[in-house]
Amino acid sequence: MNNNANPLAKRRYVIAAVVVIIVLVYVAQLFKLQLMSPQYREYADSNAFLRRTLYPARGAIYDRNGKLLVYNRPTYDVMMVVREMKQFDTLDFCRTLNIDMERFYTLDADMRDRRKNPGYSSYTPQLFMTQLNVEEYGLLQEKLYKFPGVYIQSRTERQYNYPNMGLILGYVAEVDKNKMAADPYYVRGDYVGKSGIELSHEEDLRGEKGVEILLRDAHGRVQGKYEDGAHDKAPVSGKDLTLGIDIDLQAYGEKLMHNKVGSIVMIDPKTGEILCMVSAPTYDPVLLTGKSFSANYRQLESNPFKPLINRAIAGTYPPGSTFKPTQGLIFLQEGIITPETRYACYGGYPPLGGRPGCHPHASPLSLQYALTTSCNSFFCYGLNGMLSNRNKYATVGAAFDVWRDHMVDMGFGYPLGVDLPSEKRGFIPNSKFYTNVFKTERWNAHNIISIAIGQGEILATPLQIANLGAMIANRGYYYTPHVVKERKGAALEGTYTTRHDSGINREYFDITVEGMADAVTMGTCRGINLAPFVEVCGKTGTAENPHGDDHSLFMGFAPKDNPQVAIAVIVENGRFGATNAVPIARLMMQKFFRGEIPESDQWLETTIMNREILPYVYTRNLPVSKSPNN
């Protein structure tokens, strides 16, 4: 009996163990499915809840005088929960949305494609179509009961009160997969700043998303908010921005630059606030909104005059004679010259046989008069005196690097740090650059003499040239130029309130200011003389251009004492500085100080607005004559 009982007892224990193991396996699998599996959890949640994203209103943008520039209007997206979609009249759905069947299948495939939509799930709302207008929204809303699994989600779209500042304001567009991978805030269908202020201040403007959790019954019908909205999160609107830009001044500058290529930049020297930043050609910001975005963008991108490039910060030009004040300041600071030092000029730089050439004026002359008359020879003598001075510098390279360091301290050679994307650095070479070019360290000033007058390898942006005007106006320092003045009532701090000193003694700036004041009253830029109403200081420039007519430049500030504005104007292919840049600067100064153009200058306004100065644009070496305006 005992021998027979033992095998039975053992079997009983084995069977019991097997049953326990099977139960444990099922329990573990259920635990995994219900608690660990995101797919099952999504499925369970989707049966009971509908999570609806609440998009915040993007921050509005105002000009310095409180005029509303950018605001929002409602727009609507079509969302689909694929698991809930049952048979419905696809043709009726397409007619409601005013799309064809081919478009429907393309949008549906894109929605389900995990490469294009990395967050795709058949259990949660997925973006099917964006930017329904109010009429389309109304039609779909009426028929929504016919289309199970289809929902409407509201958001906002940018709108503009003025057809100006497209390059400064920038645009928003649908987020790409790289941005989604870099920032978990974004999902497919979200919109993000792509250029201008919309990009550089994206985190200020975008706000914070909210969520609404809705409870559904066994048939998937929404019954109301889950626990009366206790778990909902309200969206937080983006921060409003106030710019330093004066929209009236900006719009006027854009009119003056109609049918021209170039830039106007005006800065408040006391703060670094940018008062206007014109880049020509430009575009109406409304073009890059709505369903016409792609077609309009392609048209702008293919325009040979490149209206999508902000020339004020991304255009680089030889600064020409607007560069000369920096040279005089360096030579004074380094003790190469004194205010009384005189150099001869008889139509050009004598040691190189009159090259570079110069226009007639009294000779010999001091620094102040050299600035007044824009003498080339004086600054060539100064550069040669500095680079050949072996009592002060061990080598020409050492001397040149001191020169370069001064240039960097005055805001050239590196981006200034404006709060806009795509700012270029320009170009200020160092001694190694020329050693590599000439394959020897035994080069000298005469090999690179053209940089003394802002030519050769020297390149600067219009913003850097305007900032030079602000630094001279302040007699030796500047604040980082910036477009945004305030963030929802809070003034900017840090970078934009930090003073940058040039390292040049103030008394040397006083001499420079006198030379620039004389240039307006009796020198090369008499066309901007607004005395006695306001005393302007200025410097013209004519930059050589290997691709056509020379560029026309002007840099200056006003009033001479207690300055309120610094300005730089560049007109590509505009020839002499006095021909186009000076008249434009005069009109901008009149607009700034008077608010209107006096009757005495209205003829000039008409002339400039009607003047067309368009360079040849080469495509496959063939000249293309095409208006830059849209």
Separation of alpha carbons 480 and 266, rounded Å: 13
**Which residues sit opposite 215 in a β-bridge?**
49, 224
Reply yes or no on whether the pLDDT at 36 is more than 90: no
pLDDT at residue 44, as a whole number: 47
Estimate the share of the chain in helix, then strand, then coil, as percent rounded to the nearest 5: 40, 20, 40
89 Cβ contact list (under 8 Å, min separation 6): 146
- How far CA 81 is from CA of 128, 181, 420, 503, 613, in Å, comes to 10, 23, 39, 64, 56
List pLDDT tens digits, range 554-572. 999 999 999 999 999 999 9
Task: Tell me how far CA of residue 420 lies from CA of 175, 224, 239, 356, 496, in angstroms.
Answer: 19, 45, 17, 37, 13
pTM for the full predicted model: 0.86
What are residue 237's DSSP bridge partners? none
Residue 460 pLDDT class (50, 70, 90 cuts): very high
Q: Which of 491, 489, 493 is nearest to 480 (CA)?
A: 493
* Share of residues in the chain with pLDDT > 70 (%): 89
* pLDDT band, residue 269 (cuts 50/70/90): very high
Residue 544 above 80 pLDDT?
Answer: yes
Residue 625 pLDDT greater than 50, yes or no: no
Query: What distance in Å separates the CA atoms of residue 61 and residue 465, rounded to the nearest whole number?
Result: 27
Angle at 453 between CA 582 and CA 416, to 5 degrees: 75
Nearest Cα residue to 541 out of 307, 320, 296:
320
Question: Residue 535: pLDDT above 50?
Answer: yes
SS3 at position 248:
helix
Token pair listed for 201: 């201040």
Which of the four pLDDT bands, split at 50, 70 and 90, describes residue 48? Answer: low
Distance, CA of 216 to CA of 201 (rounded, Å): 39
Closest CA to 392 of 330, 462, 311, 348: 330
Give the pair of three-digit tokens for residue 247: 């929209």
**For 131, left (φ over 0), alpha (ψ -120 to 50), or beta?**
left
Query: What's the pLDDT band for 626 if we cut at 50, 70, 90?
Result: very low
Task: State residue 86's pLDDT score.
Answer: 76
The per-residue pLDDT for 219 is 52
Q: Are 168 and 420 in contact (CB under 8 A)?
A: yes
**Beta-strand pair 241-243/61-62:** parallel
Position 104, amino acid: F
Residue 506, number of CB atoms within 10 A of its CB: 11
pLDDT at 258 over 60: yes
Q: Residue 200, class by beta-carbon neighbours within 10 Å (0-12 exposed, 13-18 middle, 19+ buried)?
A: buried
What single string gives the DSSP state of each residue in 48-81? Answer: HEEEEEEPPPPPPEE-TTS-EEEEEEEEEEEEE-
Q: Is there a cis peptide before residue 563, judged by omega within 30 degrees of 0?
A: no
Q: Looking up tokens 């806009």, which residue turns up? A: 420
Mean pLDDT for 258-262 is 95
User: Average pLDDT, stretch 11-15?
Assistant: 73
Give residue for tokens 């997206």.
77
pLDDT band at 31 (very low <50, low <70, confident <90, very high): low
Of the given ranges (90-104, 162-176, 407-421, 456-470), which has the lowest mean pLDDT? 90-104
Is the pLDDT at 346 greater than 90, yes or no?
A: no
User: What φ, ψ does residue 231 adopt, rounded to 5°?
Assistant: -105, 5
State the pLDDT at residue 4.
52
Q: Are 331 and 337 in contact (CB under 8 A)?
A: yes
SS3 538: strand
| Mean predicted confidence (pLDDT) in 295-322 | 95
CA–CA gap between residue 276 and residue 301 (Å, rounded):
24
Residues 6+ apart with CB under 8 A from 111: 80, 117, 120, 126, 127, 128
Q: Where are the beta strands (DSSP E) in 426-519?
A: 477-479, 484-487, 490-491, 499-501
Instruction: Name the CA dihedral angle for 112, 115, 117, 119, rounded to a multiple of 10 degrees.
Output: 100
Taking the alpha carbons of 594, 596, 598, 601 in that order, is the dihedral positive or negative?
positive
Domains delineated in the chain: 50-219+235-243 (3.90.1310.10), 247-624 (3.40.710.10)
Question: In the structure, what pLDDT confidence band is assigned to residue 226 with cuts at 50, 70 and 90?
Answer: low
Grade residue 89 by pLDDT with cuts at 50, 70 and 90. confident
If you average pLDDT over residues 581-592, what whole number do you get?
98
* Nearest of 265, 373, 387 to residue 314 by alpha carbon: 265
| Dihedral (CA of 41, 43, 47, 52) sign | positive
Both tokens of residue 507?
């008394």
Rounded CA separation 483/461 (Å): 16
> Looking at residue 185, what DSSP letter applies?
T
CB 574 within 8 A of CB 580: yes
Q: What is the pLDDT of residues 479-524, one digit of tens each?
A: 999 999 998 767 666 778 889 999 999 999 999 999 999 999 999 9
Mean pLDDT calculated for residue range 563-586 = 95
Residue of 399, 519, 377, 386 lying closest to 453 (CA atoms): 377
- Nearest 5°: the CA angle 297, 299, 302 is 105
Interior/surface letters 81-101, b for 16+ CB within 10 angstroms, e for the rest = bbebeeeeeeeebbebbeeee
Report residue 99 as tokens.
């799309």
User: What is the chain's mean pLDDT, rounded?
Assistant: 88
The rounded Cα 299 to chain-centroid distance in angstroms is 20
Helix (H) or strand (E) holding 279: strand 274-280
Q: Determine the distance from the C-alpha atom of residue 186 to the mean position of all C-alpha atoms in its chain, rounded to a whole number.
A: 22
Spatial separation of the C-alpha atoms in residues 37 and 123, rounded to whole Å = 13
Q: CB–CB of 589/536 below 8 Å?
A: yes
Residue 440: how many CB atoms within 10 A of its CB? 9
Which is higher by pLDDT, 347 or 616? 347
